[in-house]
Structure 1
Amino acid sequence: MLDLKGYGWLLWEGVQLTVMVSVVSMAGAVIVGLLAALAKLGRSRLRSAIVEAYTTVVRGVPELVLLLLVYYGVPTLVQDVAASLGYDFVVAINPFAAGIATITFIYGAFACEVFRGAYLNVPAGQHEAAAVLGLNRMAALRLVILPQVFRYALPGLGNVWMVLVKATALISIIQLPELMRNADVAARATRMPFTFFFAACLVYLTITLASMWAQARAEGWAGRGVVGGRL
């Protein structure tokens, strides 16, 4: 990392935190998205309605608003309710946990739609073949359907990941020292905003290019045995 007036280390620390938040949030979003998609595709109308409401809220409310609601709104609400019941205490949410929870919640909804579309793309004959083999519903899902769902979902999940990485810049608003927060601190200290914000742009671009390369490799690996090697 370049010295950048002695602030290169600060950017490097921000990059590490950004990558950590991105990876943990993406893992959570995949889990939440898969469970939500299965619930939405299931036979329970109640679960399907809950997931539909969840995805509608995420699509309709700006990400920044949700982040501020989780970090500032929830603790205040809990404190006010407790005060009305005669209890007096302070609720503080760790910004790292709040950032990951909010990003996971938001992008879990987008991953849900990716998985739902991928599930619907699995040929009906695959379900029938699993039934002919004597597999019960859970075994068929685990051994036959889900591997194909992930193959169809890879392009969409790759796009979710790239948008998620850029969305981590929003958590600077809750004072979490990720890349944009540290770039802003360095820019103010040195009065070199162009230098540090441009450096942040280059870092995000590097992560995106590396992600595109990794996604292409993953899609090629998942497409083995498919005609032409394509999904």
Structure 2
Amino acid sequence: MNDVLTLISFGPEGWGDEIVQGVLITVSLALATLPFGLVLGFLIALAKKSDEPSLRNAANIYTTIFRGLPELLTLFLVYYGVQIGIQEGLKLVGVEAYIEVNSFAAGMVALALVFSSYASEAFLSAFRGIPQGQYEGGYALGLSHRKTMGLVILPQLVRLSLPALGNLWLILLKETSLVSVVGLSDLVRQSGIAARVTKEPFLFFGVACLIYLVLAMISSAGLSRVEAWSKRGEVRR
């Protein structure tokens, strides 16, 4: 037992510092990805309900691609594809250089692409759950289309899409572990290094599992509070 406590302790003899650093990177990556994924997903949902066929087709192709590809392959395409693309572009102008993409940025982009493709469906379902009379009521009050969207539709959209978006956030939090394969020192990578060095894989991967469960429980509690707040104006029947 003392050996276990020593291994997970903080300081030169333990791996607690590295594990905490990995947790911070994992949470930072998820939080950095979330706003980009939400905004992009919302724009894709707007394109899907647009009257313009080209926008609808482009949005449908986008979601088909990134919902169909495994997340790990998407990460590899972004991480290695961007490097190759930049290097080939430089060669066209006569510059020979090796470019290495930041693994955090590549992970954020790849996860945002996948997250947005699923979030767009959550937003689209929420749009379909809002009666057409809500739009007509806003226009009848003299509100412009932009004000109707901002003051009437958007609050209802957030409330209706929150349960699905909450599930996507939990999935995103877990999928950050994929970025460890491109060298980002997240929780999984730090746990793997500690496991290899100490020959204690069960201990450190078990600790990683517990940390992910704690993060999920904290997220679930926070999402429950946000959902309750979003429903505060509903009339009880």
Q: After TM superposition, is the score higher than 0.5? A: yes
- In the alignment, structure 1 residue 110 sits paired with structure 2 residue 97: no
- CA–CA distance in 2 between the matches of 1:87 and 1:36? 37
Spell out, residue by residue over 1:64-123, the C-alpha distance to the aligned partner (whole angstroms, 9 max, x if none): 001011111221243245436644222221111111111111101111111111111012
| 1:9-48 → structure 2 map (5 Å cutoff) | 9-48=17-56
Letter in 2 for 1:178: D
> 2:66 maps to which residue?
58
AA in 1 matched with 2:65: V
**Quick check: 80-89 or 65-74, which moved more?**
80-89
Tell me the SS of whatever aligns to 1:6. coil
Matched AA of 1:138:
R
Equivalent residue of 1:135, what SS?
coil
Q: Which amino acid aligns with 1:155?
A: P
Aligned to 2:187: 179
Task: Give the 3-state SS of the residue equivalent to 2:80 in structure 1.
Answer: helix
Q: What's 2:132 paired with?
A: 124
Aligned partner letter, 1:97: A
Of 76-85 and 142-151, more deviation after overlay is shown by: 76-85
Query: What is the one-letter code of the residue matched to 1:3?
Result: S
Percent identity over the alignment?
38
| 1:221 corresponds to 2:229 | yes
* Aligned equivalents of 1:134, 1:60: Cα separation in 2: 43
| 1:27-56 C-alpha deviation (Å, 9 max, x unpaired) | 111111111111211222112111111100
Which sections of structure 2, spanning at least 5 residues, go unmatched? none
Shift of 1:227: 3.6
**Separation (CA, whole Å) in 2 of partners of 1:115 and 1:109:** 10
The CA distance in 2 between the partners of 1:190 and 1:79, in whole Å, is 39
Counterpart residue identity of residue 42, structure 1: S
Matched, 1:3 2:9: yes
The unaligned stretches of length 5 or more in structure 1 are none
Instruction: Supply the distance in 2 between the matched residues of 1:72 and 1:124 (Cα, whole angstroms).
Output: 45
Q: Write out per-residue CA displacement over residues 124-145 of structure 1, whole angstroms, 9 at most, x where no aligned residue.
A: 2111110110111111111110
Q: CA deviation at 1:147?
A: 0.8
Partner residue of 2:153? 145
User: Secondary structure at 2:197's aligned position in 1?
Assistant: helix
Using a 3 Å threshold, how does the CA distance of structure 1 residues 40 and 7 change in structure 2: closer, same or farther?
A: same
d(CA) in 2 for partners of 1:76, 1:167 = 24
Structure 2 residue matching 1:164: 3-state secondary structure: helix
Match of 1:207 in 2: 215
* Separation in structure 2 between the aligned mates of residue 137 and residue 44 of structure 1, nearest angstrom: 17
Residues 170-225 of structure 1: CA deviation (Å, up to 9, x unaligned) = 00001000100100011111110000001000011001111111111111111112
Instruction: Report which structure shows greater RCO (CA 8 Å, sep ≥6).
Output: 1
Q: Runs of 4 or more off by more than 6 Å in structure 1?
A: none
CA change 1:195–1:123 in 2 (3 A) is same
2:191 and 2:206 map into 1 onto residues whose CA distance is 9
The more displaced of 172-181 and 34-43 is 34-43
Which amino acid in the other structure matches residue 143 of structure 2? L
- For 1:25 and 1:75, the matched residues in 2 are separated by 20
Cα offset, 1:21, TM superposition: 0.4
Measure the CA separation in 1 of the matches of 2:57 and 2:90.
31
The equivalent residue for 2:171 is: 163
TM-score relative to the length of structure 2: 0.91
Matched, 1:72 2:80: yes
- What number of residue pairs does the alignment pair up? 229
Q: Tell me how far apart the structure 2 counterparts of residues 227 and 143 of structure 1 sit (CA, whole Å).
A: 18
